[in-house]
Structure 1
């Protein structure tokens, strides 16, 4: 199965009248997803199919079951049931949390937020797939004085994007393939809408940090970077993150039974990144490599 074949479904979850967030991972002690030490909450579901996706388990909005062969006891009769598996080889990817449960989980790290000026970042997948519950969750965190951020590609209705972003201290906003036709055919992304939303957030006074994944064969080239810098120039932003391609998520594709189209692609060398960094610095940006 390829990423383009993974079903895209609505991820908004309502159980017994209560909105729940469908989460596939909670990563603690992160230093690359906003200021200070952060807890990153990964929301399940994404409308795009980036060939370089490092979190393929995030794409489907459904809760998925996988089997880790390294743990499997090869029982004569497999129940294919997470709760019945004696070795823990059967795992669920995705869990539905009430807002109270999710708040309790992230507040375990409150001491690290306070001491490092960190906070909570909502990521994915694409957090906009669950915008309503994410917005409510961020409101709860803001009421507790916790610094909030989201990572997003911004590809949704402007009202939905703006409503969510207004609950954030900062928005880490991905800019990928700038060519409209390529963005649609390769990523299933509405690039004009993405750019309009980024501009809207900046004009609304929201702190936005553009982030550019540097992907061989797609975005690791000066023409795409020039287009990004040209678009950003009127917005007067001062910071940009460059995110070099990596293969950290490769094993997940085999686990999920999906095809890794970027398999074997070598991560970019520093010498390949340097010209793009120089372009951004020459345009007046403080550049961070890796976010």
Structure 2
């Protein structure tokens, strides 16, 4: 049995606009990533997401709050830690989300300079959804650009248009996910405002930012030619020449149990290589350079 708890909003909550600029809530910093932008990347995962994608591989990112979980497999039932992460002798209690200053994040990501320099890589902000912490994202990207780092974000595009524009202009590339292209299904299933997302995509393309559309291939949701052709139809007027495919996987399945959450796709098989290749060929036939995995 795994317990999952959230402190009151007042506890460790980023409250003021000033604090939001200097401090962000991060739940992971992943090094040596090969699928989150050009070259070798270090990815800063920001906590908080307004969507509820059933296939989400990072369910711990959804709530903006700092949360705590207990892994039953590690718990020795000593009754001494009082749900205190620092006092837990077995490591059963874990904190999900840490408030970090700009300086703290930069001190972590700059450890990977040698990889960035040799691979034309850089730093990617991901989530959750970057647009849930826009002021911190803007401040961090500004600092990184001032230090001459290549930057990128991964986004669903679901957020404030003006803020997304500011963020995008501080990036060398924007990895932009296209999910369910039926407006009503998109709203009902994942809570996304499709019209807002499409307008935001158009806005940042018109700003001259390099935007790479990404298509998650999720059986029962997005892995069909009707949905894919809607994406291609929307992209046709734009000068886009590269698309990334993100085949469904089960890598995050165990996280749901750990967090005490229901995982709706546990019995959904991953797409076969032939299914993914068929989609790749279909998109390539429309003139796009297609990369599997991003």
1:186-229 Cα offsets, whole Å, 9 max, x none, are: 01000011011111111110000000000000000000000000
Deviation at 1:148, TM superposition (A): 0.1
Q: Pairwise CA RMSD of aligned residues?
A: 1.7
Q: In 2 relative to 1, CA 86–173 (structure 1 residues): closer, same or farther, beyond 3 Å?
A: same
Task: From the superposition, tell whether residues 276 and 12 of structure 1 become closer, same or farther in structure 2 (CA, over 3 Å).
Answer: farther
C-alpha displacement at 1:78, in angstroms? 5.3
Deviation of 1:274 (Å) = 2.5
Structure 1: 5+ residue stretches without partners: 1-5
Count of residues in correspondence between the two structures: 283
TM-score with structure 1 setting the length: 0.94
- Residues 1:89 and 2:92 aligned together: yes
Give the corresponding residue for 2:39. 36
After TM superposition, list the pairs within 5 Å mapping 1:85-124 onto structure 2: 85-124=88-127
Structure 2: segments with no counterpart, 5+ residues = 1-5
CA offsets per residue over residues 52-87 of structure 1, 9 Å max, x none? Answer: 000000000011101122322221555111011011
- Give the direction of change, closer, same or farther, for the CA distance of 1:190–1:15 in structure 2 (3 Å limit): closer
Q: Aligned residue for 1:269?
A: 272
Aligned match for 2:77, one of 74, 78, 91: 74
Between the aligned partners of 1:170 and 1:246, the Cα distance in structure 2 is 25
Alignment of 1:129-144 (within 5 A): 129-144=132-147
CA contact (8 A) 2:121 2:150 kept: yes
Q: Is the 8 A contact 2:41 2:123 kept in 1?
A: yes
SS at match of 1:209: strand
* Closer, same or farther: CA 129–237 of 1 in aligned 2, 3 Å: same
Paired with 2:80 and 2:32, the residues of 1 have a C-alpha distance of 40
User: Is the aligned partner of 1:203 residue 2:190?
Assistant: no
Where do residues 18-37 of structure 1 align in structure 2 (5 Å cutoff)?
A: 18=19, 19-37=22-40
1:13 Cα deviation (Å)?
A: 2.0
